[in-house]
Chain A
Amino acid sequence: MSSKETWMRQIRAEIGVVAKADGSAMFEMGNTKVVAAVYGPREVQNRSQQLNANALVRCEYTMANFSTGDRMRKLKGDRRSTEISLVIRQTMEECILTNLMPRSQIDIFVQVVQADGGTLSACINAATLALANAGIPMRDIVTSCSAGYLNSTPLLDLNYIEDSAGGADVTLGIMPKLDKVTLLQMDAKLSLDTFENVMQLAIEGCKAVADYIREILLENTKQLQYRRGT
């Protein structure tokens, strides 16, 4: 299938946008722009949460007031933000080798600058890049993409208008090398066959993002080598 429904929006990423963070990245999927910053591994701030055998992974998702079409009243800690923070934390925790950094804390902060559908996917992709930039050991990168089903057609990478149209929205996160699904979310209903098609489409999208992310990381490493003079 190479018709327009299976095209992703343009993706663009940049590493190291927050100089003071241990690792950071900016990820854009179409008009959705997200900045992720990683602080850690560092000393646990709240001793009662310290884990003796693993690193503690924490995550906060925030949306800027101006990120959506209607200006929103700032609700930090509202239910949607809390849920998305939890989802991102669980997804990234899976791929970080937390047993290598016991009694430490890794903070992942994700800030949505502009939201136009697929914010969760963009956040996960940005977090992956930021963790890699921070040099935190991971099993594999995690990439994410969304797909939907409108007018009897599977669509890849929905924007806000398509997402609000009432069809299904499947968000998928995979670890491409290990070929494992770490995140799967869907709302609305789909028949099993349709779901398989849509999920397959989302997996293709995730793999495309993974290729792009690897390119960015390779380019970044070459830059570092060049600056070291090797």
Chain B
Amino acid sequence: MAFESRTNGFLHIVYSEMVGLSIGEKYFIQGGIAQDLRTDGRKRLSPRPIFVETGNISQSNGSARVRIGATEVIASVKAELGRPSALHPDKGKVSINVDCSPTAAPMFEGRGGEELSSELSVALQRCLLGGKSGSGAGIDLSSLAIVEGKICWDLYIEGLVVSSDGNLLDALGAAIKAALSNTGIPRVNVAAGASGDEQPEVDISDEEFLQFDTSKVPVIVTLTKVGRHYIVDATSEEESQMSLAVSISVNRQGNICGLTKRGGAGLDPSVILDMISVALSVSERLINTLDSQRAAAEAGKDEL
């Protein structure tokens, strides 16, 4: 039993435990999905409406709060000065960390949420930060360098899951993208004439901020297979019935930036290509929604 659970991934256990479903309810969910009519009336490929709010954490350089149905997540971006790694002296560093708050589920109390938190953190890192060399990252790390080999920006991206009703990865991906677009990196003036091994003096401006470029940051779309069909934007009830899930991160240019498959069930290779094309169209709509909500929020702020 323990071995089966392992291969199914921790998310599956989380949702099975959180949601107590009777056999009738399980058949209802599976049957509805098979007939393209889910319990909340959506079609298989329709996502729930997404609401984005940025700038809610005033102490961070950038922040966003995203609500998809009853799922609510907060992302915060903090920038601190640091030293670039010896392997990549011309690049800054980004770390992504997710925390599941016990408010989302009693099982996240104490250290209960650690496994899910690390699974989400790793999946987000894979989708947004590219390979080990830093190449192919959705976030342009060289824009974070200040003085090659000596000073760079370290971005700390923190995600917090406040309330959970499925599709945490997509919500976190959207929140991080929105938080990054809200992030202002202070302008840094480097004192000239620093030689050799000395740390140059830097002056961080309190007033001038550079908006972070997020045009290449991807969004994540998760497709969940229930029975013989797959759905977009699953609720936690639907996720408890899943056999596998594929999360695909896509950027505005339509390039795939990362792919994660969770769950022990096997998947036909032709189905994967199908899922990718669905993800491409869903991600396009998602990126447009995020951009229009951000534009509307900024227009609202300008009016004030």
Contact = CB atoms under 8 A, between A and B. Distances in A.
A18 interface: yes
B163 to A, nearest CB: 4
Contacts of B59: 31, 66-69, 114, 116
Nearest to B78: A71
Interface residues of A, number: 32
B57 A113 contact: yes
A211 B78 CA distance: 37
Nearest to A31: B58
B103 A76 contact: no
Given A65-B97, A71-B78, A35 B103 contact: yes
A7 to B, nearest CB: 20
Contacts of B72: 17-18
Given A66-B78, A113-B74, A107 B106 contact: yes
B217 interface: no
Contacts of B101: 35, 62, 64, 109, 111
Interface SS of A by simple majority? loop
Interface string B55-83: 01111100100000010101010101000
Nearest to B58: A31
A85 to B, nearest CB: 10
Q: Size range of the interface on B? A: 20 to 34
Interface string A48-92: 000000000000101011111101001011000000000000000
Interface in B85-115: 97, 99, 101-106, 109-111
A1 interface: no
B48 to A, nearest CB: 12
B164 interface: yes
A66 B103 contact: no
A17 B99 contact: no
Contact of B80 (A65, A71, A111, A114): A71
A67 B57 CA distance: 8
B160 A64 contact: yes
B165 interface: yes
Given A20-B163, A20-B164, A114 B106 contact: no
A110 B72 CA distance: 15
B278 to A, nearest CB: 27
B158 interface: yes
B34 interface: no
A113 B160 contact: yes
B158 A66 contact: yes
B29 interface: no
18 contacts: A17-B163, A18-B70, A18-B104, A19-B165, A20-B236, A24-B163, A33-B56, A37-B103, A64-B76, A66-B78, A66-B158, A68-B59, A71-B80, A71-B156, A111-B102, A113-B74, A114-B58, A116-B59
Given A17-B162, A111-B102, 9 more contacts: A18-B72, A18-B103, A18-B163, A21-B163, A31-B59, A37-B103, A64-B158, A111-B101, A113-B74
Interface of B: 18, 56-60, 63, 70, 72, 74, 76, 78, 80, 97, 99, 101-106, 109-111, 156, 158, 160, 162-165, 236
Closest 7 pairs between A and B when the two form their complex, measured CB to CB: A19-B70, A66-B76, A37-B103, A109-B102, A18-B163, A111-B101, A65-B158
